[in-house]
Structure 1
Amino acid sequence: MKKALLSVSDKSGIVEFARELTQLGFEILSTGGTLQALLAANIKATEVSSYTQSPELFDGRVKTLHPKIHGGILHRRDNAKDLEQAKAHNIHAIDLVCVNLYPFYETTQRTSNFDEIIENIDIGGPSMVRAAAKAYQSVLVITSPSDYPSIITALKNGQNTLELRQQMMIKAFSHTAHYDATIANYMNTRFCDGFGEMVFISGKKVLQTRYGENPHQKGALYEFESFYSRNLRILKGEPSFNNFTDIYSALRLASSFGDKKAVSIIKHGNPCGFAMKESLLESYQAALACDSVSAYGGVVAVNGVVDQALAQEMSKTFIEVLVASDITQEALEIFAPKKRMKIFALASAALESTLESTSKKSLESTFAPALALPLDPMDFKHIGGGFVYQQSDHITSDELANATLKSQAIADPSTLQDLHIAYTIAALTKSNCITYVKDSTLIAIGMGMTSRVDAQRAALAKAHDMGLDTAGCAMASEAFFPFRDSVDLAAKAGVRAIIQPGGSLRDEEVINAADEHKIALYFTGVRHFLH
């Protein structure tokens, strides 16, 4: 009789899977909680310790590490010597191995108790998975409940092919590699400040994009810990590689102010519009006014629900990508004729459950959901031959609340709000960057320039072209001003207040210039280069 070894931490669907296997003639071997679940469902199964005639040891640390298990998996069915040894030691073939591993990552998320974390490092599980994957020519290995239905179908139809076993072998090695990478990265974080001798970038494929940045490149979206597969809903169109990079830029900016009604517009990774008004409709209209030319074909992020009125306004121009916490059915119908437009909802899993349990009409009248935002603790960038790795950059509320006034002039509360917005936008935009904000609306931005003054000039030239008045606005820079010329140019533009990190050798000249022009000047002490 064919033997199947089932030992899973994630027991989703395992009872149904085992029942199908028994009907297909498999004898089930199992352990621990998996065995209990099967027996409780009246599925005949043999305990591994009974099968090996070796008891579980050391509180279950040793239970499947036995020649009858690993020999049953690893012996080569077409090797006469292996078959002879197997027979001599009463080792029977195990033809199917279904294993997934102790919840190490989940344990680290709910406790810092190192003893408990250590006990959730699986040993026997990865050993069985790797053994079964190595023996793929004869053994079928399954590591994910999502594969149970297709595996059963294949077995029923006599399609347990070498190709199938190869596919499952690749999944199995990926499963154990990701698991080991998670453990190693955790230990580096706990004991080496996140920077060990080795660091591992491990992601799960969400979807294949049609191509990469350009048509001759292949591309795909991968995720850390299921963020996109849990939170992203594709409502219209097919997302591209470039869409995802722009969506992330738009998402970071639109969600930077909690549940405020913020709208950001992104083109080629940089903001060309942002506003935060009393309603999402007003925010969109104000954001579009910053640079309606660049906004054409751009990516719009809405920190809330897109309703019919907002959709009607948005439909007046070409938006390639819209991402919001949700879109009403009426709004989707308005966008339906726009064949090139792509629409996504990206709200948290907790919000998803709220949406399902609350009527849409009641929800919209009492609560404006916010966009979901991945907050990865570490960041990296590919360079030829490797990558540079760092802690992720985040703007903290303390950073702005504790900004130091350096000038004689003081900003009023409304201007302080504009400074907050301007500084946040600058920190999330390619350096060198200068931003101008008035009435909670971005009215000018210059980015990615080799000179900070050139970034200012580019921003002001665009504002002039768009017919926008910079008089009375707030200005921000993501890094210090090396000379006073930036302040002098700001004064000509009518800037009322400036926020920047400070730290230049000529800070005193910059402060004196601000006082000469009666401009309020604040230093945050934190630089936010983005290269």
Structure 2
Amino acid sequence: MRALLSVSDKTGIVDFAKGLIDLGFEIVSTGGTWRVLKDAGLEVTEISEITNFPECFEGRVKTLNPYVHGGILYRRNKPDHVEEAKKLGIEPIDLVCVNLYPFKETIERTDNFEEIIENIDIGGPTMVRSAAKNFESVIIVTDPNDYDKVLMALKENKNTLEFRRELMIKAYEHTAQYDATIANYMNERFNEGFGNKQFIVGKKVFNTRYGENPHQKGALYEFEDFYNELNILKGEPSFNNLTDINAATKIAVSLGKGSVVIVKHGNPCGAALKEDLITSWQKALAADPVSAFGGVVAVNGVVTKELAEEINKIFVEVLIAGKITQEAQEVFANKKRIKLFDLGQAELEISGDMYDFKHIEGGFVYQTADFVKDEEVLEAKQVSIVGVEDKKDLLMAYKIAALTKSNCVAYVKDGALVAIGMGMTSRVDAAKCALKKAEELGIDVKGAAMASEAFFPFRDSVDEAAKAGIKAIVEPGGSIRDDEVIEAANEHGIALYFTGVRHFLH
């Protein structure tokens, strides 16, 4: 039996080779891998002894040879293949262990295109694909984490077709991701990220309990290793839990450390940033305690026992935080339905993906990601006669509106969300709906700041705001009726600011 080892990541390769030798394998290797194994005192054959041809062109060509690929690809169960291999002097290769040149690591480290090009692997993917194609006879190993599993299967005579098929699938995933990374990088470098093809590759973290509904299957995939930091402390996350966690966490991170955000069905129903987390929680809950029941809570900080006791006074389905202390977890121990997650650190964070996409029937739409910058509000153009010195509430309202389904109008007072209307077909309906609900809950919005993620097409939303006693409004501007909106603000003595940036979220 022969094994061909050619790896860029040398982690565990010496022990793997030793294990294969102990099982009776002859080891064939290339360049750097050959030297590592040789230096470790192992008996190993250099690839040129098999190919009868030296590595050439600075290592660009070394394994692209019929003695290599013939030994991998010929079918052992076909007599004519076996006979032809003998005739050509091709010896079988029964195991191929390859991982590829570190292209991703290279583009993260340098912008030198010459170096980047030289870290595009050619022979490696070809060997992987050859071995994967002939998985009926050949074991293909692409992940150092599988070394022990492969050795165990060989030792215990569990090298089954099903086992090799599992490794074959993993191998094709490996080369597909590699090629996708290269293609996406080249389009990023030369086509502003929008080439003729777009490849979206994710690594499965875990299956969700089900999809959006119980009759659907679901799973969480990650682009990098971001979700490795997500600690599942209690409960099993569902598909909807994860999308709600994403919505709540994005707003909480945007508002800053010390904020608390409550989300229901992807939309915020409470948010606050006060002097301490307990007060932030209380003010966030006050915005809409009815909707908060069974909601998802994001705490941008550490959940202590004291905060846990406050949250535990109502039923919440999910709690995500920077950290949930052991004492806090014990507070929720008897609550069967609550799910607890944290990142094991002082505050929440998001990956900050640079691109965004959404599935539509038959394909997907793809775009650069939307980010709200503080200066959009802090440096917004004052278009009204009166202004305000403190824009904290305006900034908070604007961030919440931008991260909530359009049409959205958000009202913030003293660092807490007091009313919100979202996902409406009419902007004035969003404004009215928010104020009506606040009135029903007995919330005083007088003196609040109001934000819209897109321009007001008519003055009616400003007129409604004036009735409620709103003191300041921030919106993008850009309507053909901006003059009417400005006139309404001046009539009512409301400060009005235009940011010039729209933030639709559909």
TM-score range, shorter chain: over 0.9
1:272-301 CA-partner distances (Å, limit 9, x unpaired): 111111211111111111111111111111
* 1:419 is aligned to 2:416: no
321, 332, 357: which is aligned to 1:380? 357
SS in 2 for 1:44: coil
361, 366, 370: which is aligned to 1:389? 366
TM-score normalised by structure 2 residue count: 0.98
C-alpha distance in structure 2 between counterparts of 1:409 and 1:32, whole Å: 73
5 Å matches for 1:359-378? Answer: 369-378=346-355
1:283-332 CA-partner distances (Å, limit 9, x unpaired): 11111111111111111111111111111111111111111111111111
| Offset at residue 26 of structure 1 (A) | 1.2
Q: Tell me the percent identity.
A: 64
5 Å matches for 1:272-421? Answer: 272-346=269-343, 369-413=346-390, 416-421=391-396
Structure 2 residue aligned with 1:362: none
C-alpha distance in structure 2 between counterparts of 1:67 and 1:305, whole Å: 60
C-alpha distance in structure 2 between counterparts of 1:62 and 1:107, whole Å: 20
Letter in 1 for 2:108: Q
5 Å matches for 1:82-93? Answer: 82-93=81-92
Structure 2 residue aligned with 1:361: none
SS in 2 for 1:390: strand
Structure 1 residue aligned with 2:62: 63
Structure 2 residue aligned with 1:99: 98
Structure 1 residue aligned with 2:230: 232
The answer to whether the Cα contact below 8 Å between 2:473 and 2:497 also exists between their aligned partners in 1 is: yes
Structure 1 residue aligned with 2:138: 139
Structure 2 residue aligned with 1:253: 251
| Offset at residue 402 of structure 1 (A) | 2.4
Name the count of aligned residue pairs. Answer: 506
SS in 2 for 1:255: helix
| Offset at residue 387 of structure 1 (A) | 1.0
C-alpha distance in structure 1 between counterparts of 2:313 and 2:498, whole Å: 41
SS in 2 for 1:133: helix
C-alpha distance in structure 2 between counterparts of 1:459 and 1:35, whole Å: 69
C-alpha distance in structure 1 between counterparts of 2:307 and 2:245, whole Å: 19
C-alpha distance in structure 2 between counterparts of 1:320 and 1:34, whole Å: 51
Letter in 2 for 1:527: R
Structure 2 residue aligned with 1:78: 77
The answer to whether the Cα contact below 8 Å between 2:377 and 2:474 also exists between their aligned partners in 1 is: no
| Bigger shift: residues 266-275 or 217-226 | 217-226
| Bigger shift: residues 44-53 or 173-182 | 44-53
5 Å matches for 1:91-130? Answer: 91-130=90-129
1:81-137 CA-partner distances (Å, limit 9, x unpaired): 222221122211111111111111121112111111111111111001000000011
Moved over 6 A (4+): none
Letter in 2 for 1:119: E
Could you tell me which runs of 5 or more consecutive residues in structure 2 were left unpaired when the two chains were aligned.
none
Structure 2 residue aligned with 1:356: none
SS in 1 for 2:434: helix
433, 457, 470: which is aligned to 1:482? 457
Letter in 1 for 2:355: M
| Offset at residue 372 of structure 1 (A) | 2.1
C-alpha distance in structure 2 between counterparts of 1:10 and 1:291, whole Å: 53
C-alpha distance in structure 2 between counterparts of 1:243 and 1:10, whole Å: 36
| Offset at residue 176 of structure 1 (A) | 0.5
* 1:461 is aligned to 2:436: yes
1:408-464 CA-partner distances (Å, limit 9, x unpaired): 111122xx0000000000000000000000111111110000011111111112211
Structure 1 residue aligned with 2:48: 49
Cα RMSD for the two superposed structures:
1.3
Letter in 2 for 1:378: Y
Structure 2 residue aligned with 1:174: 173
C-alpha distance in structure 1 between counterparts of 2:314 and 2:18, whole Å: 56
| Bigger shift: residues 71-80 or 27-36 | 27-36
Structure 1 residue aligned with 2:2: 3
1:221-254 CA-partner distances (Å, limit 9, x unpaired): 111022212x211111111100110010011001
| Bigger shift: residues 239-248 or 7-16 | 7-16
C-alpha distance in structure 1 between counterparts of 2:451 and 2:421, whole Å: 11
The answer to whether the Cα contact below 8 Å between 2:55 and 2:62 also exists between their aligned partners in 1 is: yes
TM-score normalised by structure 1 residue count: 0.93
| Offset at residue 50 of structure 1 (A) | 3.0
Structure 1 residue aligned with 2:19: 20
SS in 1 for 2:53: coil
391, 405, 408: which is aligned to 1:433? 408
416, 439, 448: which is aligned to 1:473? 448
5 Å matches for 1:213-228? Answer: 213-228=212-227
C-alpha distance in structure 2 between counterparts of 1:287 and 1:40, whole Å: 63
Letter in 1 for 2:144: P
Structure 2 residue aligned with 1:357: none
C-alpha distance in structure 1 between counterparts of 2:465 and 2:401, whole Å: 16
C-alpha distance in structure 2 between counterparts of 1:282 and 1:8, whole Å: 55
C-alpha distance in structure 1 between counterparts of 2:399 and 2:261, whole Å: 12
224, 238, 241: which is aligned to 2:239? 241
| Bigger shift: residues 279-288 or 476-485 | 279-288
| Offset at residue 36 of structure 1 (A) | 2.8
